[in-house]
Amino acid sequence: MTSDEVFARIVSGLRAEPRVTETKMFGSQGLKVGGKVFGMLYKGELVVKLPQDRVQKLVQSGAGRYFDPGHGRLMKEWVSVGPSASSQWMALAKEGRDFVAAGAGRIPPKRLLTTRARKRR
């Protein structure tokens, strides 16, 4: 099965949930939950947002590598997993969905107040 076919199955399975939608990111097909991207197919690999320590473990084990969107800056909460590990893609996509749905990337309340205060000035 090609990477596109494996990802199409992931999209089909996860789109059955009303909170999951499709999007484009970096010119690739992606998935969102609550308006935030949690996974995509990029250059034939699954790219998924996970907690930083989970990404680090996947990288250290050789199962994935830090995602580089092309400007030389590795993204600490994004892992790229090649087609040789496509049997793990659905589980990783679900893990990413759950991570993002739980509030990954939200502005901490203290910082949010500071941002609001700046806007009032």
Q: Residue 113's pLDDT is what?
A: 46
Res. 112 pLDDT band, cuts 50 70 90:
very low
Question: What is d(CA 108, CA 88) in angstroms, rounded to the nearest whole number?
Answer: 32
* CATH ID of 3-120, from 3.40.980.10, 3.30.1460.30, 3.30.70.890, 3.90.1200.10: 3.30.1460.30
Q: Residue 103's pLDDT is what?
A: 87
Backbone region of residue 53 per phi and psi (left: phi > 0; alpha: psi in -120 to 50; beta: other values): alpha
Domain range list for the chain? 3-120
pTM: 0.82
- Rounded to 10 degrees, the C-alpha dihedral 89/22/4/51 comes to -30
Q: Residue 104's pLDDT is what?
A: 61
Question: What is d(CA 32, CA 107) in angstroms, rounded to the nearest whole number?
Answer: 18
Strand duo 36-42 + 20-25: pairing: unpaired
